[in-house]
A and B are shown apart, each in its own frame.
Chain A
Amino acid sequence: MRARPIDLAAIGTLLTAFVAGLVVPPDAVQGDLQRIMYVHVPSAWLAYLSFTVTLVGSVAYLRSRSLRWDRLAGASAEVGVVFTGLALATGMIWGKPVWGVWWTWDARLVLTAVMFFIYLGYLALRRSFDDPELRARRSAVLGVIAVLQIPIVHFSVTWWRGLHQPPTVLRPDNPQIDSPLLFALLMSVAAFTVLFIALVTRRSNLAAAQDAAGESQLADPTAGAAITSPTLGGSS
């Protein structure tokens, strides 16, 4: 497996962001705990980006019926579910020392959790089909409907949580970020985005190779050739 330019770029930007995240000063209030932000925020960004790419791929497939769009949608969802899970986990790790509980019912955390399970349902659907065209058609429909629901889920969760103030003024995702921290954060976001592109393109290519390998050829034996005369009962 050869490293492509995008792979090298991902590694390079990730290393740079990692170093930046370590060398910038800690937050004045939260200390070193705040450095989780350099993983949590980019992960959450990728969760939304992945959904968007899945929507684009799904719509493009329904219009063009070209399987490469379906592979893009599927690859984006696979990468997206990983980063959504990472956003959830880091959000919980970040919140535990502050609020004393793993789960705070914060609106964004709840929305991220809902998105995570929507991804899982989408991927479970994709896994259920062997036929690439059937998988593409059904997944595209679910992809469009699921992603179109995300803004509605967002508003409903935000309205719901707007009725219930958090128990403390301190919020892990403090909107007031000083310049060095903001720089490190933006580096992380950029690095994760490059990583996303690298992973999605590699996964799409792998899916294309899998589909090509699985496709039967006209020169192959037919499925019926696997069935022979029974050997019981004296049949020949």
Chain B
Amino acid sequence: MRMRSQIRTLLRFELRDEFRGGEVGLVVVPFAVVALLTIPMAVGIDTPLLERIGPGIYWSIIMLFGVLVTQRQSSTAPTAARDMLRLAGVDPAARFAATTLATFVLLVAFEIGAGLATVALYSPALDSWWPLAALLPLTAAGLAMIGTIAGNIVSGLETKTSLVALIVVPIAVPLLLGAAQATEGLRVGAGILRWVLLLAIVDVVLAVAGVLTARPLEESPR
């Protein structure tokens, strides 16, 4: 019960800190939209081609720019704050869960924002849009977990943002493939169950890894 209460408290305040700062909504989402806008400038504005590859570009943007969401200022608590939480007896797994949940909420919002821009700019035609209600949260959950784990691994380092990106993106390849191939399946009317299962398996593996590694990472000597 105490752990749930800790997670709720940390989650509430972390989200509040982020909404006030607005880094995700006011910086990362516009940055992603700029990327979506500039890619056709580079590859050519062949409308049928963009319609076909738009979903794939969207998921690439989510993965690459999603790393910025996971490393936003409000998720990377200062060392003194982490010490304070350690002394207050906050379970490292609770801190992992709270940060991951906050990141998950923000990533879903980011996916929706970037998704609207993708629909506007690329006009992708999907047979069915409803499965996205599963794809978006599954991908966001995996990215949130791997981003939080990576953030804890590099905490205290100066070069952490770029290092986190290098760590997260290769490991997140199954998330990209699962989401992109499922969306492609929706576009051509093919089955997507195996890709949804892949995303779910990745999420479960990362959740277990995140909880098990929270304490060893927290107790690192400094």
A binds B: yes
Closest B residue, CB atoms, query A65: B216
* A120-B177 CB under 8 A given contacts A134-B222, A138-B153, A142-B153: no
| A121 contacts chain B at the CB level, 8 A cutoff | yes
Is A156 within 8 A of B154, CB to CB?
A: no
For the complex, what is the distance from the CA of A148 to the CA of B217, rounded to whole Å? Answer: 18
Given contacts A145-B206, A153-B174, A160-B181, 7 further A-B contacts (CB under 8 A): A121-B167, A121-B171, A134-B220, A138-B217, A138-B220, A144-B213, A156-B173
* A121-B173 CB under 8 A given contacts A138-B217, A145-B149, A156-B178: no
Interface residues of A in 117-158 (CB under 8 A from B): 117-118, 120-122, 124-125, 128-129, 131, 133-134, 137-138, 140-142, 144-146, 148-149, 152-153, 155-157
| B159 contacts chain A at the CB level, 8 A cutoff | yes
A residues in contact (CB < 8 Å) with B? 62, 114-115, 117-118, 120-122, 124-125, 128-129, 131, 133-134, 137-138, 140-142, 144-146, 148-149, 152-153, 155-157, 159-160, 163
By secondary structure, the B interface counts as: helix
Q: List 27 A-B contacts (CB under 8 A).
A: A114-B170, A118-B171, A120-B166, A121-B170, A124-B163, A124-B167, A133-B220, A133-B221, A137-B217, A138-B154, A138-B217, A141-B149, A141-B153, A142-B153, A142-B167, A145-B206, A149-B174, A153-B171, A155-B174, A156-B173, A156-B177, A156-B178, A156-B198, A157-B177, A159-B177, A159-B194, A160-B181
A134, A152, A153 — most chain B CB neighbours (10 Å)? A152
B residues in contact (CB < 8 Å) with A? 146, 149-150, 153-154, 157, 159, 163, 166-167, 169-171, 173-174, 177-178, 181, 194, 198, 201-202, 205-206, 209, 213, 216-217, 219-222
For the complex, what is the distance from the CA of A121 to the CA of B146, rounded to whole Å? Answer: 14
Closest A-B pairs by Cβ, 4 of them: A156-B174, A121-B167, A117-B170, A121-B166
* A121-B209 CB under 8 A given contacts A152-B174, A152-B198, A157-B177: no
A115, A131, A146, A156 — most chain B CB neighbours (10 Å)? A156
Residues from chain B with a CB closer than 8 A to the CB of A155 are: 174, 198
Is A118 within 8 A of B221, CB to CB?
A: no
